Amino acid sequence: MTVNKQLGMRIAYLRKKHGWSQEELSFRSGIHKNYLSDLENGRRNPSLKIIEHLAKAFEVTLFDLFLGIEGFED
């Protein structure tokens, strides 16, 4: 599995853990909802700026955003 797919699964996991829709995460992060959908499905290669926006929205460190992505498998 690619790192993009693993990160996407981690983002979806955190979003659902917070009880947020993609629209809510879009609002909180300033990232377009369609782009978030592509991220969650592993179709985008996010920039560091996008990753930073997501970490701030989830109120986690960059390290914590990536924590456990190797555990997400097909």
**Per-residue pLDDT for 69 more than 80?**
no
Is residue 42 domain-resident?
yes
Residues in the chain: 74
Identify whether 9 is part of a domain. Answer: yes
The answer to whether residue 74 sits within a structural domain is no
pLDDT at 70 over 80: no
Domain range enclosing 18 = 3-68
Give alpha helix (H) positions in 1-74.
3-17, 22-29, 33-40, 48-58, 62-66
22 lies in a domain? yes
- Looking up residue 32, the CATH number of its domain turns out to be 1.10.260.40
Q: Is residue 73 in some structural domain?
A: no
Cα angle 66, 54, 9 (rounded to 5 degrees) comes to 50
Residue 2: its pLDDT value, please?
Answer: 86
Indicate the number of domains in the chain: 1
Task: Supply the pLDDT for residue 54.
Answer: 97
Q: Let me know if residue 13 belongs to a domain.
A: yes
Q: Confirm whether 53 is domain-assigned.
A: yes
- The model's pLDDT over 3-59, given as tens digits with 9 standing for 90+, comes to 899 999 999 999 999 999 999 999 999 999 999 999 999 999 999 999 999 999 999
